[in-house]
Amino acid sequence: MAIKNHPNKNVNLNGWMNKLKRIEEKTERLGLLSQLGQILNSTLDHKEVRRRAMEAATQLMKAEVGSLLLIDEEKGQLYFEVALGDQEETIKKITLNIGEGIAGWVAQKGDPLIVNAPEKDSRFFKGVDERTEFKTRNIICVPVKVKERTIGVLEAINKKEGEDFDEEDLSLFISLADQVAIALDNARLYQELEEMFFQTAESLADAIEKRDPYTGGHTQRVTMYSLATAKHLPLKPMEMKWLKISAVLHDIGKIGIDDQILKKPERLNPEEYNAIKQHANMGAEIIDHIKQLKNIIPGVKYHHEQLDGTGYPEGLKGEKIPIIAKIVSVADTYDAMTTDRPYRRGLNKELAIKELRRCSGTQFDKEVVEAFVKAYETGEI
């Protein structure tokens, strides 16, 4: 429709209105992209970033399904990190070789791709549709790159309302993939640092433990038992982390015990035993210097307290003993019972469990013993 009196008489109002509509939609989607970027970046949990990436892909592309495939460089394969709800388990078992399928092509070339007629595209891998009874109508797929290196592929399948994917989708999807890459990389860096922390604490605790010739592998086992027990208790994720560090470092106070006592092959006399008992307080003192580890002091300091108040170093009773210390206490005692000492053989597992049960409610917390036994019965211990 031509417009009278306008300098450019050929201006078409419908054209204008369409352009305005398109650009308004684009504005909305850019706003959404910005929001999705925030959501992606507001966690440093790698698994959670992966989940959010898939959701963001689905939402931004107005697609039926979104998925994230990551590259396993050693195997030269792409695996589905997350995928659609119902079919998740089926899809997770599917891997693509790099170069295979649309996603494999994108991973290999590092270029984005839209395929609006997959049945006519020789690159299309029919395996997923066949195994999931899902019908791929169209697909948009972009590389996820960290510093020029392709680490995976983000894809969305079946644009809603029967439309095809277009260049605008592609431009938005590339931006989303960039945000996904950043969020994944930050989460990876955080996770690697966390692993470095745990491994260093474990290695040093191990080295400290090795001075004591009768406890090879004790720290590792106590950590494993503690975490397995905690799974059956209502601990928060943060408390699980504190528990893990407490268990790893529970005996570091032994660094302050003299060789002649620590390495004595015979039973200790009361004075020597008193010296050994100092390790609980000494461990707490070492950790006291670590600002961010305040929360694990109770686990280290009180792992020899007993429910009836006959433990050490403070003779705390019942609910005064922190839950983390109660867990480490059961794990620690079980390991001591089931390993050999120079002056006695270790008990077998069943007898040790019986002994834990016998002392449940006096020495040990009942709920913790119950959780420990559950973990034992399910084969986790």
Using alpha carbons, select from 236, 147, 227, 221 the residue that is nearest to residue 184. Answer: 147
Q: Does 268 bind a second copy (CB under 8 A)?
A: no
CA distance 2 to 13: 7
Interface map 161-180 toward a second copy (x if CB under 8 A): --------------x--xx-
Q: Which is nearer to a second copy, 268 or 351 (CB)?
A: 268
Which secondary-structure segment (H or E) carries 301? helix 297-301
Q: Does 10 bind a second copy (CB under 8 A)?
A: no
Residue for token pair 């108040």: 309
DSSP 273-296: HHHHHHHHHHHHHHHHT-GGGGGG
Say if residue 229 is exposed, middle or buried (CB neighbours under 10 Å; 0-12, 13-18, 19+).
buried
CA distance 110 to 250: 49
CA distance 365 to 29: 55
Applying CB under 8 A, which part among 84-92, 290-298, 325-333, 361-369 lies near a second copy? 290-298
Applying CB under 8 A, which part among 31-39, 96-104, 218-226, 357-365 lies near a second copy? 31-39
Tell which one of 174, 204, 336, 359 touches a second copy (CB under 8 A): 204
DSSP 256: G
- Crossing angle between the packed helical segments 218-230 and 237-249, to the nearest 10 degrees: 160
Q: Does 286 bind a second copy (CB under 8 A)?
A: yes
Applying CB under 8 A, which part among 12-20, 65-73, 316-324, 354-362 lies near a second copy? 12-20
Minimum distance from residue 145 beta carbon to a second copy (Å): 12
Tokens of 5: 């009196």
Residue for token pair 């867990």: 327
Q: Does 9 bind a second copy (CB under 8 A)?
A: no
**Does residue 342 contact residue 265 with C-beta atoms inside 8 Å?**
yes
Q: Does 182 bind a second copy (CB under 8 A)?
A: yes
Tokens of 138: 């169209």
Minimum distance from residue 3 beta carbon to a second copy (Å): 6
Minimum distance from residue 246 beta carbon to a second copy (Å): 13
Using the Cα atoms of residue 156, residue 161, residue 167 and residue 168 in order, give the sign of their dihedral: negative
Site for a second copy in 51-70 (CB under 8 A): none
Tell which one of 12, 18, 38, 348 touches a second copy (CB under 8 A): 38
Applying CB under 8 A, which part among 73-81, 121-129, 286-294, 368-376 lies near a second copy? 286-294
Q: Which is nearer to a second copy, 200 or 378 (CB)?
A: 200
Give me the residues paired with residue 30 across strands: none
Residue for token pair 């109002």: 13
Applying CB under 8 A, which part among 13-21, 113-121, 127-135, 350-358 lies near a second copy? 13-21
**By the criterion CB under 8 A, which residues form the site for a second copy?**
1, 3-6, 11, 13, 16-17, 19-20, 23-24, 26-27, 30-31, 33-34, 37-38, 41-42, 44, 175, 178-179, 182-183, 185-186, 189-190, 192-197, 199-208, 210-211, 252, 255-256, 258-260, 286-287, 289-293
